Homo-oligomer: A and B are copies of this chain.
Amino acid sequence: MIDPERLSLNLMTVDHWSLPEAVDHCATAGIGLVAPWRHQLAPDSARVIREACLEVSSLCRGGFFTSPGADDDNRRAVEEAAALGAPVLVLVCGPPTSPDLRAARATIAAGIERLLPFAADHGVRLGIEPLHPMMIGERSAIVSLGEALALARTFPDPAHVGIVLDAYHVFWDARLEDELAGAEGLIASYHVSDWLVPTTDLLAGRGLMGDGIIDLPHIGALVEATGYDGPVEVEVINPALAEREPQELLADIRTRFARS
């Protein structure tokens, strides 16, 4: 069982709330950590979060290294993460721009290498997130745990770059146990949700923990064995959650988190 104090609410789960609403609801529910997305930020966000005595587990997202203007935008993302006190910037690395996936992966590696000194100077760790392979066309050419780990290992200091492990994106992988057995010190953040059967939407069809087929206790134990003892983000992207009463939803999330 994961310590309930490690629960962080990834705010994409409640993207229908403003950031001040989310902060207020979390504080009321006794959730001490949040992970905002950049589009949710306003100039006073750091103050709003601090005054509610919450902490930020990560900022989502930088990346998209295969797009024009990525470098400038990623430096802004690092600055925003630093301003929030977010220890990790989640990298969604960007889709291929041609059928040559190896070229896309090389572009991504080069982009991370350029960003890394700036991020390190700001005290922000970069977290390479392998996405589910079904998201390759729109979001990321990095679609397996193994390649994310291999990419992270190309950089000398794991304190500056690691991986973001989201159970939803990687649970299907027959190499999960072997890859995580070699991932000590490389996990920058751990995310949980569940894979619904059937899954009807490639982006927004995720389930709350316990409603799907992911063996979260098993994956959690594998993560624990790597030495990772930081925040565990609940990131459930599903528009149906917008219909739930805030405190009822957060209480449900806490209960499910305790079981997973």
Contacts and interface: CB of A to CB of B under 8 A. Distances in A.
Interface of A: 95-96, 98-101, 105, 132-134, 136-138, 143-144, 146-147, 171-175, 195-200, 202, 212-216, 218
B202 A199 contact: yes
Contacts of A173: 133, 143-144
A10 to B, nearest CB: 21
A137 B214 CA distance: 10
A137 B198 CA distance: 7
A174 B215 contact: no
Contacts of A216: 99
Contacts of A101: 171-172, 174, 215
Nearest to A134: B134
A100 B137 CA distance: 29
Contacts of A96: 213
Contact of A146 (B105, B136, B174, B218): B174
11 contacts: A96-B213, A99-B214, A101-B171, A132-B133, A134-B134, A134-B202, A136-B172, A137-B212, A143-B173, A146-B174, A147-B174
